[in-house]
Structures are given as structure tokens and as C-alpha cells.
């Protein structure tokens, strides 16, 4: 089998940009991930290249944002927050006004466009744009640390080129900005698995939000109950995502690989390990179609860096990278945390009977609702969910 051609997008210009110090969103995650990959010898070869992105131009950003909104973003970045800017969401606790806000978003969007062009030209099989993943930004509104929507822009560019696009979002937060961009379109199938809007921002993404007009059935939301763990997530993915992907047969995939669904993230309430993310990647890679991986959330920096490094390793076919044997071969390279001998994969997390009783009935109901609402639009039978009832004593 021929090695996959991977590209990691990196440049010193976006690396120098920062959100405010007290903001949970840390741009240095990308720099740290790159350092981890270099230390593991997984970046800088013919099949694992590093390429520089570019800033998106205003005319390109207008594909998904209004000129009026783009002007207000630039004014805010220059220190002029107007009444119109406030009405567009700027200046809130999760949309701080700071000097780099427009520049950073423009770099993330430009990187998304570069990634799309590399895939369209056949110059790469997998492209990582960890600068991006700003899935909350709307055409004329900022939210959730997101000002410019790079993933919507990349999906638009790919669809514009005639591709059948799958946008899969496994960030803990609902990808509402991407949903809004393609809610009436069938050339981009958007699927978001996220913590339920009953317990987490942006308080939406429910099972009955399935698109409108030509897009009806092409917008899919699978809310996850707080406390969702690897096994339940995997069964939900198999019951909803895998059948839809098979029948849709995408020609290119954009994956929002937020790591805030990991247990221990300070802003969310899910209980996944990075093995769940690796499992998703393994399925997508088996489809053998071009893949764009965008960053997204992840507010425990070390866990996010390990998760993204593992994702790159999976794409590179290096399933044993980061384990003790590999580290020994590299002369004991230090992974950067106190559990480096465990490698890149998180240890398995125990699941209590109480956790299962709380998660499984809610998740089963969500799966059944999605299948009833969406599957008939794709010629799929809305059969019962796959999750089995708890078998523990007293369950």
C-alpha cells in the first residue's frame, strides 16, 4: 500500500498571534503539536511535509461572510468597537476584542483554502489545518472564540469545485455556524456529534434540525449526553454516521477534530479518551478519499496536543508511535508530560454502572430520533438504535 501523503500547515506569522491572556483559547496548541511531531520524527519527510499557508483575502472571505461584518471585525481589531459590532456579537466574554482577532481568523481561513486547493489538485491525501476549526462564526456574527469561519469557507470552496463534501464535526460544541451556512444545500452533508445543547453552548444542535428546502436531510445533529464515554460514542457513531457516510459517498471530507470532548476539558462535560477520535479517523481513512483535518476546541492544552499528535500518527499509519518501544528507539525522547511512557493514546477509562444508566437511555433516544428524522431522506431504514441496555447487576 502506498504511503499517504500528509501535509501540516504551519507558518511563523500565525504562530506569533495570540488571543488575550485570560481567554481559554490558546493558539500555542498548534506550535506545541508541531514540536511534538518533530520530536517524534514524524514531520519533515517526503510524505509528511510541512507547508506554509497564507492569509485569506477579503474577496475570499466574502464567500461566507458579509462585507459589513468584515468591516466591523477590522474596526474592532483596530480598537474601534461600534454599536454595529456589538450587535454582531463582538465584545462578549467569549468574543473578546483584541488586536489579532481579524488577522488570526484570516490566517486560519487562508490555511483552510490552501488545504482545499492541495486536496483538489491531488497534491496531498490528508491536510492538517490546526489553525482552523472556527465553526461558530456566522455570516454576520461572532461567537464562541470564532470570528471567521474557516471550515465553512473550505467546504464552500470544495463544493464550488464540484465535490460532494462531508463535513463531520466531533468537537464537543455544536457546529452551528457551519450548519447555518449549508442548511439549505445538499452538496455538503453536515454531521455534528456534540454535547447536548441542554447542557452546553451554543444551546442548540438538536435532532430535529435537519435542514430546509434542498438541504432537508443533509444537516444531521446527534446530541451526546454529559458523561458520554468511548463505548457509547462508538456505538452512536456506528448507528448514525457510518450508514449516512456510506450512502452519501463523499468525494472529500472536512473533519472538525476538536479535542474538548476529552475527559478533563475545563469547558465541557464529556468523558471521551483520544482513542474515540482515533477510531473516527480510522473509519474515515478507510474510505480512501481526500481529508482535511481542522483543529477546533480543546481547552486542556496538553491533552489537545497529545490528541492531535495521535491523529497525525493514525493518518500516517504509525499506530505504535509514542509508546515505550518507539521512545526507546528514539533515545528516550520526552513527550512533554508526566505520563510519556504511556505513549500518545489515553488509557482506558472505567465506566460506572451509574454513568451507563445516565448516558445510555438519553443517547439511545437521540439515535432513534436522528434515524427517524434523517434516514428516510437517504433511503435508509430508521431501525432501532444499536446500544444495548446495561447488563450490570442492579441495572
Q: Is 269 noted as a catalytic residue in this protein? A: no
* pLDDT band at residue 316 using 50, 70 and 90 as cut-offs: very high
Query: Which three three-digit cell numbers place residue 166?
Result: 462531508
Query: Which three three-digit cell numbers place residue 283?
Result: 473509519
Contact (CB, 8 A) for 36 and 305:
yes
185-189, 299-303, 330-334 — which is least confidently predicted? 330-334
Q: What is the pLDDT of residue 2?
A: 72
* pLDDT band at residue 264 using 50, 70 and 90 as cut-offs: very high
Helix (H, G, I), strand (E, B) or coil at 292: strand
50-59, 178-187, 312-321 — which is least confidently predicted? 312-321
Q: Residues 216-236: pLDDT tens digits?
A: 999 999 999 999 999 999 999
Residue 327: count other Cβ atoms within 10 Å of its Cβ.
Answer: 18
Q: What is the pLDDT of residue 393?
A: 38
Q: Looking at per-residue confidence, does 198 or 386 come out higher? A: 198
What average pLDDT does this structure show over 148-160?
A: 98
Question: For all residues of the chain together, what is the average pLDDT?
Answer: 93
Q: Residues 162-221: pLDDT tens digits?
A: 999 999 999 999 999 999 999 999 999 999 999 999 999 999 999 999 999 999 999 999
Q: What is the pLDDT of residue 342?
A: 53
Contact (CB, 8 A) for 133 and 296:
yes
The answer to whether residue 325 scores a pLDDT higher than 60 is no
Query: Which three three-digit cell numbers place residue 84?
Result: 454595529
Determine the Cα–Cα distance for residues 83 and 359; give it in Å rounded to an integer: 43
Query: Which three three-digit cell numbers place residue 101?
Result: 482577532
What is the percentage of the chain residues whose pLDDT exceeds 70? 91
Which one from 65, 123, 135, 136 is the annotated catalytic residue?
136
CATH class of 6-330+343-378: alpha beta
Query: Which three three-digit cell numbers place residue 211?
Result: 435542514
Q: What is the pLDDT of residue 343?
A: 84
Helix (H, G, I), strand (E, B) or coil at 395: coil
pTM of the predicted protein model: 0.93
Amino acid at each position: 500500500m502506498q504511503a499517504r501523503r500528509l501535509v501540516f500547515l504551519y507558518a511563523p506569522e500565525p504562530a506569533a498571534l495570540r488571543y488575550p491572556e485570560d481567554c481559554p483559547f490558546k493558539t500555542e496548541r498548534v506550535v506545541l503539536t508541531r514540536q511534538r511531531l518533530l520530536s517524534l520524527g514524524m514531520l519533515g519527510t517526503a510524505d509528511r511535509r510541512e507547508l506554509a499557508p497564507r492569509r485569506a483575502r477579503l474577496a475570499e472571505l466574502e464567500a461566507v461572510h458579509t462585507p459589513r461584518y468584515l468591516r466591523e471585525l477590522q474596526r474592532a481589531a483596530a480598537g474601534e468597537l461600534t454599536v454595529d459590532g456589538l450587535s454582531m456579537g463582538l465584545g462578549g466574554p467569549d468574543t473578546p476584542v483584541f488586536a489579532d482577532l481579524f488577522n488570526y481568523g484570516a490566517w486560519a481561513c487562508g490555511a483552510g483554502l490552501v488545504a482545499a486547493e492541495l486536496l483538489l489538485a491531488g497534491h496531498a491525501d490528508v491536510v492538517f489545518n490546526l489553525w482552523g476549526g472556527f465553526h461558530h462564526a456566522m455570516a454576520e456574527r461572532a461567537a464562541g472564540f470564532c470570528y471567521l469561519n474557516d471550515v465553512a469557507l473550505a467546504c464552500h470552496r470544495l463544493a464550488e469545485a464540484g465535490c460532494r463534501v462531508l463535513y463531520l464535526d466531533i468537537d464537543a460544541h455544536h457546529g452551528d455556524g457551519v450548519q447555518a451556512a449549508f442548511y439549505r444545500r445538499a452538496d455538503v452533508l453536515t454531521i455534528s456529534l456534540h454535547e447536548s445543547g441542554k447542557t452546553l453552548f451554543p444551546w442548540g444542535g438538536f435532532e430535529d434540525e435537519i435542514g430546509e428546502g434542498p438541504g432537508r436531510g443533509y444537516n444531521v445533529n446527534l446530541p451526546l449526553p454529559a458523561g458520554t464515554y468511548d463505548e457509547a460514542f462508538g456505538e452512536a457513531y456506528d448507528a448514525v454516521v457510518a450508514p449516512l457516510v456510506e450512502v452519501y459517498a463523499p468525494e472529500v471530507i472536512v473533519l472538525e477534530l476538536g479535542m474538548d470532548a476529552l475527559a478533563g476539558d475545563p469547558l465541557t462535560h464529556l468523558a471521551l479518551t483520544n482513542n474515540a477520535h482515533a477510531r473516527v479517523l480510522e473509519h474515515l481513512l478507510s474510505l480512501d478519499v481526500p481529508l482535511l483535518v481542522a483543529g477546533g476546541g480543546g481547552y486542556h492544552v496538553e491533552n489537545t496536543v497529545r490528541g492531535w499528535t495521535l491523529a497525525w500518527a493514525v493518518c500516517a499509519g504509525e499506530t505504535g508511535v509514542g509508546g515505550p518501544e518507539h521512545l526507546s528507539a528514539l533515545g528516550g525522547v520526552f513527550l512533554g508530560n508526566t505520563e510519556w511512557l504511556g505513549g500518545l493514546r489515553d488509557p482506558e477509562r472505567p465506566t460506572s454502572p451509574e454513568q451507563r444508566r445516565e448516558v445510555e437511555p438519553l443517547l439511545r433516544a437521540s439515535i432513534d430520533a436522528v434515524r427517524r428524522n434523517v434516514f428516510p431522506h437517504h433511503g435508509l431504514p430508521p431501525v432501532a438504535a444499536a446500544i444495548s441496555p446495561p447488563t450490570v447487576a442492579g441495572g
